[in-house]
Amino acid sequence: MHTRRTEQVRVTDLAEHPTREGKVYCAVVLDTFSRRVVGWSYDSSPPASLMMNAIGMAILNRARLPGTLILSDH
């Protein structure tokens, strides 16, 4: 079985949080090896660009490695 190195498997999640002013949505990208948040984004609406902004931040904050997987349940 092939073992992936650090930063080669990332997972995403989108959460909805109620506030006094309305809902806030937060998208997060987590590096499964280090368990560090490598990208995030938040907004008052859940468009697809919210997750793309979080993934873009993860790419800018960490080196791109060939074969990197990004997994999501959405």
Write the pLDDT tens digit of every residue in 20-33. Answer: 999 999 999 988 88
The pLDDT tens digits of the residues spanning 38-70 come to 899 999 887 778 888 888 888 887 666 667 777
Dihedral angle computed from the Cα positions of residues 48, 35, 65 and 68, in that order, rounded to the nearest 10 degrees: -60
Distance of alpha carbon 1 from alpha carbon 45, whole angstroms: 41
What CATH number matches the domain at 9-71, 1.25.40, 3.30.70, 3.30.160, 3.40.50? 3.30.160
Which residues are 22's β-sheet partners? 19
Domain extents in the chain: 9-71
Q: Is the pTM of this model over 0.85?
A: no
Distance of alpha carbon 14 from alpha carbon 23, whole angstroms: 13
